[in-house]
């Protein structure tokens, strides 16, 4: 059984370790990783209602997944959207319900904000280079529609 919780200060260390694991597995591994920066960012935004930090815990309380998201205003107007910054599930827990539960909690957070803010949609991306096609199918299964692609070119 997996429980989805809002990130608490006591979870930050383990959440940063999950972030490091995600970084090592992803296309981002060519970039530097700063535990200090991530910890400071999490602490600074822990109670910021426009940031969404969620963790998935197993029965023993161990973190097996995490989600980070935020609100943003569209460039061409004042309507807003909520989007992910990071979604990570331990490799041995993928394909189960952990990711779906994290996304459902993210959507619940976004719907709550939409009661008082002009939030119009949810956006999820796949930028890690890890199982991109499988992740896209997973998102589509949850009702998301692919609307574009992302292309990178390293300096």
Question: At CA 67, angle to CA 57 and CA 141, rounded to 5?
Answer: 100
Within-domain flag for 27: yes
CATH of the domain at 134: 3.40.630.30
Q: Counting Cβ atoms within 10 Å, is residue 90 exposed (0-12), middle (13-18) or buried (19+)? A: middle
Q: Range of 35's domain?
A: 3-141
Q: How much is the mean pLDDT over the chain?
A: 95
* Residue 43 lies inside a defined structural domain of this protein: yes
Asked if the structure places residue 149 within a domain, the reply is: no
Whether residue 106 contacts residue 84, with contact meaning beta carbons closer than 8 Å, is answered with yes
Length of the chain as a residue count: 155
What are the pLDDT digits (tens) for 32-91? Answer: 999 999 999 999 999 999 999 999 999 999 999 999 999 999 999 999 999 999 999 999
For the whole model, what pTM was predicted? 0.94
Asked whether residue 154 is assigned to any structural domain, the reply reads no
pLDDT of residue 122: 98
Asked if the structure places residue 48 within a domain, the reply is yes
Tell me if 104 is assigned to some domain. Answer: yes
The answer as to whether 150 is a domain residue is no
The reported pLDDT for the residue numbered 96 is 80
Q: Mean pLDDT lowest for which of 99-103, 120-124, 131-135?
A: 131-135
Tell me how many domains the chain contains.
Answer: 1
């Amino acid at each position: 059984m997996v429980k989805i919780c809002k990130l608490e200060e006591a979870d930050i260390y383990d959440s940063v370790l999950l972030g490091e694991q995600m970084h090592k597995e992803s296309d981002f591994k060519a970039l530097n990783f700063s535990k200090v920066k991530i910890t400071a960012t999490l602490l600074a935004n822990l109670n910021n209602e426009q940031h969404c930090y969620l963790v998935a815990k197993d029965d023993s309380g161990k973190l097996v997944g995490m989600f980070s998201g935020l609100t943003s205003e569209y460039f061409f107007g004042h309507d807003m959207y909520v989007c992910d910054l990071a979604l990570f599930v331990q490799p041995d827990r993928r394909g189960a319900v952990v990711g779906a539960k994290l996304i459902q909690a993210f959507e619940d957070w976004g719907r709550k904000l939409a009661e008082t803010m002009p939030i119009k949609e949810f956006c999820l991306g796949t930028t890690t280079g890890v199982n991109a096609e499988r992740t896209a199918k997973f998102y589509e299964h949850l009702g998301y529609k692919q609307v574009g692609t992302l292309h990178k070119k390293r300096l």
